[in-house]
Amino acid sequence: MNPNSSENLFDHRPLLMLAPMQGLTNRLLRQWFIDHVAPDLVFTEFVRVQPRSRKRVTRSDLSEVGSHGAETPLVVQLIGHGERPLCEAAEALQSAGARHLNLNLGCPYGRMSSGVTGGELLRDPLKLAALLGKLRGQIKVDFSIKCRAGYDDPRQIFELLPIFADCGIDWLILHPRTVEQAYAGRADHRLTAEVAADCPLPLVANGDINDVATGLELLEIPGLSGLMLGRGALADPFLFERLRSRQVEPPSDRERSMQLQGFIGAVLAGYQEQFCGERQVLMKIKKLINFIPDPSRQRVLGKMKRAQSLEKFSRLLQDL
C-alpha cells in the first residue's frame, strides 16, 4: 500500500491540521506549531502556479518542499489554473519531494491576471472535472482538495462530491461558506454534518473552529475525519493541545499571558533570523498579531501593531 495514501493518513482519526494561511503559515510558523503542539499535518502557504513561465513553481517553493525534514507531513497547496501548468507544477513538486498535494478550490479572491483560480473554479463544474481528472493522472501521491461549499449556492457541494470521487480525490476539506460569502457570517457546520453523511471521501471540517467546545462538537459528527484549524489556532496557539485533552475551560489569565508571550517571542526571534531588515520583520509579526483577538489585551496589542521599531515592539510584548 502506498505509504502516502489517504487510507494510511486517516488510520488514526480524528486528525488535527494546521490550515494554510497566505502570508502566515511560513516555514518558521509551521515549525513552532510542530515543536510545541504537534498538529497531525501542516500546510504550505499558496504555491502559486505560474501559467506563462517555463518554471511553473518558484525555486523557493521547491526548496521549501525539499527541505521539510519534520516527521509531521507537509501538504503542498497549489493555487492556479490550466491543465498543463498545474500538471507540470505537480510533477515538479513531486520531484522535489512532495508527498501530499492539495488544490485550493476555496480562496474567495481567486483570480490571477490570466485566469480564474481558487473558488472561482467552482463556477464551471464540467471544466473542473476535466482538470481534476488530468491532475489525478499526473499526481502519484496523496491528492486532496480544500473547497468552499459552492460558488454562490451552499448546496452545490452535493453536486461536487460525485465529481471528486470519480476523479480519484483522496480526501476533502470543507469550509461551509460560499465563495461569494468570503468570510462574512458564520461557517454553517450544520451543512458539514449533512456532507459527512453523504461524502464518499474522508472529510475534514474547516471554518470558525475557534474554541474547544466548537471543535469537540464537530468531532461528534458521524463520518468526520478531522478538523483544520486556521485563525483559531493563531488566536489560541495551544488549541490543538486543548482539543486533545478536551480542556473546555479557558486558560487562566496568567497562563494566557505566558503562552502568548512565548508564542509571539519565539516567532519574532525566528523572523529576525529569516527575514531581511527591521521593516520586513515588523510587517510579518504585526500580520500575525492581527489574528490574535483578546479583549483584555487589545490595548497592548494595538500598541504593538503601531510600534515603529523592534525595540519598542519587544518592550510592549513584555506588557502582555
Q: Render pLDDT for 189-212 as a digit per residue (tens, 0 to 9).
A: 999 999 999 999 999 999 999 999
CA 207 to chain centre: 10
Cα distance between residue 62 and residue 77, in whole Å: 12
Question: When comparing pLDDT for 14 and 109, which is higher?
Answer: 14
Query: Under the phi-then-psi rule, with left for phi > 0, alpha for psi from -120 to 50, and beta for the rest, what region is 41?
Result: beta
For 100-128, the pLDDT digits (tens) are 999 999 988 755 545 789 999 999 999 99
Question: When comparing pLDDT for 64 and 145, which is higher?
Answer: 145
For 155-188, the pLDDT digits (tens) are 999 999 999 999 999 999 999 999 999 999 999 9
On the CB side of 111, CA atoms within 13 Å amount to: 3
Cα distance between residue 225 and residue 11, in whole Å: 10
Lowest mean pLDDT among 54-63, 208-217, 224-233, 241-250: 54-63
What burial class does residue 310 get, using C-beta atoms within 10 Å of its C-beta: 0-12 exposed, 13-18 middle, 19+ buried? Answer: middle
What does the pLDDT read at residue 110?
56
**3-state secondary structure (DSSP) of residue 142:** strand
Contact (CB, 8 A) for 225 and 171: yes
Mean pLDDT (whole number) for 17-37: 95
CA distances to 34, 94, 99, 146, 279 from 142, rounded to whole Å, are: 21, 10, 6, 13, 39
